[in-house]
Structures are given as C-alpha cells and as structure tokens.
A and B are shown apart, each in its own frame.
Chain A
Amino acid sequence: MAALKMQPGAEIDGFTVGEQVHRGGMATLWTVTHPGINVPLLMKVPLVSEGEDPAAIVSFEMEQMILPRLSGPHVPACFGTGDFERQAYVVMERIPGQTLYKRLGELPLPYDEARAIAGKVAAALASLHRQNVIHHDIKPSSVMFRGHGEAVLIDFGLSHHKHLPDLLQEEFRLPFGTAPYMAPERLLGVRDDPRSDLFSLGVLLYFFTTGERPFGESETLRGMRRRLWRDPYPPRCLREDYPLWLQEIVLRCLEIDPAARYPTAAQLAFDLAHPDQVKLTARSRRLTRDSIATVWRRRFNLGAVQPQPKSDVAAQLASSPIVMVALDIAEGSDALDEAIRVTAERVMSTSPSARLACVNVLKLNRLAIDRTLDEQGQNKHVDRLVALQHWARPFRLEDNRLTVHVLEAIDPAAALLEFAAVNLVDHIIIGARQNSMMRALLGSVSAKVASEAPCTVTVVRPSRLTVQDESEGTAEQDDASAVTPPGMF
C-alpha cells in the first residue's frame, strides 16, 4: 500500500491539504480546499494503516459508508471518501465552533438551557433515525451546533445503518463505545434499537442538569453491566429544586427496558419542547432508586429478557408517529369535528405508540389590539384548551399520548405549519372549511397546510349528508367536498 504523505500542501483527489487542526486517538483532522466547493472543509484521516488497530479501521470504514448517505442540517455534509488502498479519508463540511464537551466545566447548566440543548439533539436524532441510522455514540463531544441553532451530530464510526452491513457486529468481544453513555442493551450485543440513542441522550441530560454522570465513569465491563439491573439515583436526590417534568423526561430516557423509554426521538423532542405538557407519573416524584427486590428480580431474570428479535428501525418509527389534529372548534362545526374525530381514531388505532397533539389557532387581528378576554370577560385561551380536551376525551388515550395546544397567530395556516415543522409532526389531520363565504374571505387554511406541510396531510370533510343539513343555502361547494373516507394528500 503506497500511502500518501499527509502534510500541508499535499494534493489528494483534487483536495489541497491545509493545516492539521486536531489529532485524536483514532484520526487526525485537516483543513482542505477544493476548487468549486465553497464551504469550509475538513479531511478526517485515520491514524492507523491497514493491518493495525482493527477498531480504528472498522469504525473508519463504517463512517466512510454511512456519512455519504446522510443528508439534512443535522449532519456534516460529505464531499468525498478515499479508501485504504491509497489514502483513507473522509472529507466533510467543517462545522464552526466547539462540541458540547467544552461546556463540561460549566455543569450543571440552568435547567432551561439544558432542556433546549437536549431538545435540539433529540431533533437531530429524529432526523438521523428517519434515515435508518442509529448513532451509538451520543455524548457531549459528538454534538455541535450550526449558527441557526440546529444540533449537528458528528462521528459515525460506531453507527449502525439498517440497509448496510454492520462491520462492528462481530469485530469486538466487548461492546465498543463510550462507557458512561452506553445503553444497557448494548452490553447484550443489541445494535439495532434506535432507543439506545435516547438512553445516551438521557445520560447527557442528567449529567448536564446535575453535574453527575448517572452511571459514573466506570469503564470495566463489570461496572457497566450494573446498569442492566441497577437504576440511577433520581436527579431529585441530587438537587432538591429539580423540576418534576425534567425528572420525568430524564428517567424515562434512562429506563432499562428500551420499550419503557420514549418510542421515538421525535416524541422525546416534543416533550422537551413542551415541558408544561409533560404528563407526570410516579417517576417524576421519586427520591430513591428501585427497591432491592426489583433490582434482584432484574438481575437474576436477565436470561428471560435477553435479546429481543431484531427490531426494525423503520417499523418502530412508523408505529410511533406524532399526529397533529387541527381543530376549528370556535366555529362550532360539530359535524366536521366529528368527522375529524373518526379519522383521527382510525389513525391512532393503527399506531399503538402514536401520540396526538390537538391544536387550535386563536386568530389575532392584524391591527386591533387583542384582548385575551372576550366580551363576557372569559379567558379565550383557557376556553379553547378546555374545548380541545373535551373533544379529545372520547379517545381515552393515556395521558402521555395526548397534548393540547392553543396557538395565537395572525395567519392560522402559517402557525399550523410552523407547529408541525418544529414539533416533527408526522401526520396532520385538518378539516376543510365548509362555509364558502368564510373561505372566500380568508382563503383555505387546509389547502395551504396540505400544499406546504412537511408531512402527510389528511383533509377531512363531513359526509355529504351532514354537509347538506348544515350548509343548506350556501351557493357553491367543492365537488370533492364529500370525500369519505378522507382523501390523503
């Protein structure tokens, strides 16, 4: 193998090498330039050559395979790879700034700042998981941020891609990764469960809000295995003022059984974005760890819960969508609300881990100063929340699967679209306005949402019969206004 010499000024496949900016345990990082590429670039070069440390080679191979397939703001863009026959490298976009590792000296961070950071990482994980990749090394030094605030995940050397060979599967006798952040199932050899990343993010959030690592820093297999049966001290043991909602989120991420964690990163991001809507369970108030009986039962029943059948990343994400229902309760259109309920029930019943966000827009006037109280002096915002809860009651969803939101906005469609984008909504269910006079004046909210939404949109109309009953006398109606079941867009 004729390896090229890495030094400033060297040319590799059209890339001109600049300065070395980092030297880590497994790789060096160099600035590079390429005519025609106008973003700052980094070349990552493994430190070892073929035949030496297999860990470094294999994780480099994984990164080489996975990084070029990823897209979106939450990963560095990839501009080229070189193989071990000549000079192994990956060229990627250089993300300015520092990793979260630089913040360790400031821990614990204020609760709200840590919440915002974890929310951004959860959104990044949601994007990664949707691309069929599990990161498997979420820790402060794997997280950076773009100027606009989006989290960027780096270092995919331990990652797993559902559609690519997993080169790490048989490579190491011990699970390979960063011990304090590693999910318990990883110790059993499970590499295909995206909820392992949620556990690692839970460790990070615990650490950032308490200043303590929930499982210490043990690097021994024996020390790491304890987390298969031993739960961490609840954060409220360490900080008396620890918010209940935050403990609820952190301990749910740190559940030993992946099935007890959040089903998806998007659902975790949702709770982090709406702390006031987090449904508090016994978890949130705990001040002690599990009883010794529970711990022993876990420890000596390990064989019984061992490796589950291969989980399917895509199937799991698909069964846990965030469904948003946009309701126009103020108009009092009972038939339409009922039709929306039927549609939403159908969607929710096919997805056992789906969660439902019921959203109503309180329209503000563009010019007049809005008062939150109506003529009778009632608080409009609270009224709407109550109405949404009333509408959702027949679903009988467990508390942690339902939230209600009243948005205040001048442009209802824009507010709904923004809510869907920010909260990683998978499916919007919205009613089409029947009153043609209103639609003529205001434009169709559902049409704008359907055409611009980042996800699936179902536009619901009441059945033809109820439409005739209700809107007799209105002159024109869409030909398509009686679509039952509703059309999918």
Chain B
Amino acid sequence: MRLALFADIHANRQAFAACLDAARARGAERLVCLGDIVGYGADPEWAVDTVMDLVADGALAVRGNHDHAIGMPSDSMNDDATAAIDWTRGRLNAEQKSFLAGLPLQRDDDNRLYVHSEASDPARWRYVRDTADAARSMMATGLRITFCGHIHRPGLYSMSSAAKMTSFVPTSGIAVQLLTGRRWLAVLGSVGQPRDGDPAASFAMFDTDSREITYLRVPYDMETAAARIRANGLPHWLADRLLIGR
C-alpha cells in the first residue's frame, strides 16, 4: 500500500493542495497527516475542513502543537506564532476546533508510529534535531518505523541492532529502502512552511510492500500564499519566510 505523509501544513492552502495533487498522481492509497494543520498560514478553515474530509475517507491524523494551542493556549510559543494562533482561533468554528482538540497525539498502524514531535513524550513537543534526539524517540517505541514532523526540515535516522545511529538528509525523488534489520525514524519536511532553505512544499510517499520512502518537493504558488498572510494582517515575517524557505 502506498502512503502519502504530510506534516506541518500550517494553513497553507496552495502548498497543501499542490502536495495532495502530487500524492494522488503517485497513486497514494492512504493519507497520513502528521499534525500542525493550522498556525502561521492564512487558510485555516480550508485546511481543517480538508483534513476532516480526508479523515472521513480513511486518512489518519495526529495532533500538532499548533492544533493543540487552538484549544489550550501555549506560553512557549514565540510572538509571531502566538499572533497567528490567536487570529486562527477567531476563524475556526466550533466543529473545526473540536476536531483539532479530538485528534490523538499518536497513532500506530502495522508496526508504524505516527506522531507530530517525537515518541518519547509527544506532549512535550520536543524536536528531533540530531541522532541523540532520534535515539531517544526510537528507544521509546517498540515499533520499527516512526514518522514525525515538527522541525520543518527533512531527516532520516536509523538505529542498528547494536544501537548505532545514522543520520541522513534525504534527496528529493530518490527512494530509500528502510531495511528490515534496523529501526527508522523518518522526519518529514513541512508542507506549508519549509525551513531547510528550499521553499518548495515537502511531503513523502512510503510503500509498505517495498518499504521504500521517497521524500518529494513540490513547487506551489507561494506568492499567493504569502500575499494572503499579509492581506490578513498576520506578521509579515510569516509571509516572507515562505519565499526563502527559512
């Protein structure tokens, strides 16, 4: 079965629509949303409605820290993020808010774990920045493959049977087989606000039969996405950063 995995959509309609099209063109059979559907971007209603429809059709979704902050304001967010969350809260209706609040922190599915931040303590929203962070997450789950997001930069970690770690920055479009002899942590890039220097939207496909993961980059209409952020009075940096991927 071919999975399409999306993390950190962040209410970026243009980016998410482009990624969904690309995933369908590649024959995606099941969609997985790894959290942070809202925050930063200017189309939270559309983003939440879209994910709700996908979930109704069998997609899996977990809750991210921005989704969580809609119902439970966070004091650890920076000013821009807080401003965007406050604005977003005013845009969502009760049904949309309750959908976000009701998302699980993690889901597992046939020896795979889906979580927004990492597995050792999902509600603490820690980042996976290096092999030490990855090892902590991998030690906390018995499942062979973990998919997460949160840091907005793609990364692929593995742990051998002797607990040796490897890290790798995946190349777009190149399938990597997740060998059965080791455990894997796949950190997805961000659909709606990439921060690895490439402004193109990021998602991944995973083939459960061949165990191959393919990270992909999708060009999208970032000018419109940025213009909508400015037009809605959100902090301008949230628009500017889309154009540079930082």
Residue positions of A touching B, CB distance < 8 A:
50-51, 54, 57-58, 61, 64-65, 83-85, 88, 162-167, 169-171
Contacts and interface: CB of A to CB of B under 8 A. Distances in A.
B180 A169 contact: no
B160 A57 contact: yes
A50 B164 contact: no
B62 interface: no
Contacts of B232: none
Nearest to A62: B179
Nearest to B163: A54
A83 B179 contact: yes
By size class, the interface of chain B is: 20 to 34
Given A65-B179, A84-B181, A166 B160 contact: no
A169 B245 CA distance: 28
A167 B171 contact: no
B158 A167 contact: yes
B177 A167 contact: no
Contacts of A170: 131, 164-166
A167 B180 contact: no
Interface of B: 131, 156, 158, 160-162, 164-168, 170-171, 174, 176-177, 179-182
B177 A65 contact: yes
12 contacts: A54-B160, A57-B160, A57-B181, A61-B179, A64-B179, A83-B181, A84-B180, A85-B180, A163-B174, A164-B174, A164-B176, A171-B164
B156 A165 contact: yes
Contacts of B167: 165, 169
Given A166-B166, A166-B168, A171 B160 contact: yes
Contacts of A164: 168, 174, 176
A54 B162 contact: yes
Nearest to B177: A65
A292 to B, nearest CB: 41
A375 B173 CA distance: 62
A164 to B, nearest CB: 6
Contacts of A64: 177, 179
A150 B105 CA distance: 56
A201 to B, nearest CB: 27
B236 to A, nearest CB: 33
A58 B160 contact: yes
Given A61-B181, A65-B179, A171-B166, 18 more contacts: A50-B181, A54-B162, A57-B160, A61-B182, A64-B179, A65-B176, A65-B177, A83-B180, A83-B181, A85-B180, A88-B181, A163-B171, A163-B176, A164-B176, A165-B168, A169-B166, A170-B165, A171-B160
B179 to A, nearest CB: 5
- Most B CB within 10 A of own CB, among A51, A54, A83, A167: A167
A85 B180 CA distance: 7
Contacts of B156: 165
A170 B135 CA distance: 13
A37 B158 CA distance: 34
Contacts of B161: 50-51, 54, 57
A321 to B, nearest CB: 22
Nearest to A58: B160
A51 B176 CA distance: 23
A248 to B, nearest CB: 37
A64 B131 CA distance: 23
Nearest to A60: B181
A170 B164 CA distance: 7
A58 B162 CA distance: 10
Given A83-B181, A165-B158, A170-B131, A54 B176 contact: no
Nearest to A86: B180
A54 B162 CA distance: 7
A58 B163 CA distance: 12
Greatest chain A CB density within 10 A among B160, B161, B179 is at B179
B153 to A, nearest CB: 16
